[in-house]
A = this chain, B = another copy of it.
Amino acid sequence: MARGRVTRLTACDVRFPTSLGAHGSDAMHTDPDYSTAYVTLETDAEDGLKGYGITFTLGKGTEVVVCAVNALAPHVLNKDLGDIVGDFRGFYRQLTSDSQLRWIGPEKGVVHLATAAILNAVWDLWAKQEGKPLWKLLVDMDPRTLSSCIDFRYISDVLTEEEACEILQKNQAGKKEREAQMLTQGYPAYTTSCAWLGYSDDRLKQLCTEALKGGWTRFKVKVGADMQDDVRRCGLIRDMIGPEKTLMMDANQRWDVPEAVEWMARLAEFKPLWIEEPTSPDDILGHAAISRALAPLGIGVATGEQCHNRVIFKQLLQARALQFLQIDSCRLGSVNENLSVLLMAKKFGIPVCPHAGGVGLCELVQHLIIFDFISVSASLENRMCEYVDHLHEHFKYPVLIQKACYLPPKDAGYSTEMKEESVKKYQYPDGDVWRKLLAAQGK
């Protein structure tokens, strides 16, 4: 049973100066400083447990998300955790449908990122109180309770609560075996760490060599800024990994629809499994057109990390606009909204291959995809979870990768908690790291 009244909610602006090393650079985000609006929830329960929630940002603007968290805080403060999770759908609706605040969303952009950070903290706290890692809390929940966490508003034409329960009920069979499989083998991952756009060819080769030694078999390369550059880099990486291993490409929204089709026709010789984010994340019909054009070339379309809510995912599925669906643990409204997307993907038979990387996205999303395998999809076919080898050292319960697979977390909670000294050191603009950097820049 969830317990305690929420007595305190704080939000912190924590930034890592990743732009200094071109880590995370792509065709649209040339100099990201991986950052997070980091939420801490405290209650008056005697257990003294705290809930931690993150949402991912790229540096500037983190303070705007922190401001939005504070605007939402009155909906959380002084609430009983039992009441929150006891009517989780109602609480989700309250956060996302505040009669005044919804105007500056609704359920998109800054306010939705803030909602994610708060709800991630609630789930972390709940799982800690239950003494389970989040994935296990979800796996052990009965279908009716799981469904009651989901707001079906605007998706009931595609997925009703009854259908959600049926899908979950059907998968009760075999759950134990799949859980055991996860615990021994883990969930398959792919790496994006080798081929950021800002890396030199030499660095790319070196990282690729290391990754191959480490047992990685699936690689993603950033493309979209310069065609000649792409041809050279894609050729280089395909040569290094050989014809059998899997290569994915990611354009990070660089193209218009006709351009995406032309560009990928040129890169098709390198046999990519998918092209990720070929155009605007808002362009459902554009993704559908690209999917149709690239299908004869054997290239699928993947998107999701910037799809702002379940209504967009619903339509991407309705329009057959993607062949790989990429959920994100921090852009959607936390576990609640991601549950609805996992269930819709199952209904449409589309594999979910989560977006991760950034700060903590690997830590969080592993819980969702492990739950998905055990309770929803029951399949590993065409499925894998992104992995990026950055910033895990700042987390109290970092991911564990073994033979290119995510091993299920065993600690209670949602793996969202950061090390206290990291939060202090990287806080913006007052942490040690930033005081020095800003002073060096004369700011």
State the A residues within 8 Å of B (CB). Answer: 28-33, 56-61, 63-65, 67-68, 71, 97-113, 153-157, 253, 256-258, 279-286, 289, 306, 308-309, 311-312, 314-315, 318-319
Contacts and interface: CB of A to CB of B under 8 A. Distances in A.
Contacts of A279: 154
Contact of A65 (B31, B61, B104, B253): B104
B282 A285 contact: no
A25 to B, nearest CB: 9
A64 B111 contact: yes
23 contacts: A29-B102, A30-B99, A31-B100, A32-B103, A58-B99, A58-B102, A60-B71, A60-B98, A60-B101, A63-B67, A64-B64, A64-B67, A67-B67, A104-B110, A105-B110, A108-B282, A110-B111, A154-B279, A154-B282, A157-B256, A282-B309, A284-B284, A285-B319
Contact of A284 (B30, B156, B285): B285
Given A59-B100, A106-B306, A153-B280, 18 more contacts: A29-B103, A60-B71, A61-B71, A64-B104, A67-B67, A103-B306, A108-B108, A109-B110, A109-B308, A155-B256, A156-B256, A156-B258, A157-B256, A157-B289, A282-B309, A282-B312, A285-B319, A286-B311
A103 B355 CA distance: 14
Contacts of A65: 104
Given A157-B289, A285-B315, A286-B154, A108 B60 contact: no
B285 A318 contact: yes
A104 B308 CA distance: 10
Contacts of A113: 104
A301 B109 CA distance: 26
Contacts of A281: 106
Contact of A103 (B61, B112, B289): B61
A197 to B, nearest CB: 12
Interface centre among A56, A315, A318, by most chain B C-beta atoms within 10 angstroms, is: A315
Contact of A97 (B28, B64, B289): B28
A89 B392 CA distance: 40
Contacts of A311: 280, 282-283, 286
Nearest to A31: B99
Contacts of A105: 109-110
A61 B258 contact: no
Given A97-B28, A109-B109, A104 B57 contact: yes
CB-based closest 8 A-B pairs: A109-B109, A110-B110, A60-B100, A59-B100, A157-B257, A154-B280, A282-B311, A58-B103
A285 B154 CA distance: 11
Given A104-B57, A257-B157, A28 B289 contact: no
Nearest to A37: B104
A29 B110 contact: no
A172 to B, nearest CB: 28
Contacts of A156: 256-258
A286 B63 contact: no
Contacts of A112: 109
A345 B323 CA distance: 31
B312 A100 contact: no
A103 B318 CA distance: 26
Given A282-B312, A318-B285, A111 B109 contact: yes
Contacts of A284: 284-285, 315
Contacts of A306: 103, 106
Contacts of A153: 256, 280
A157 B29 contact: no
A266 to B, nearest CB: 19
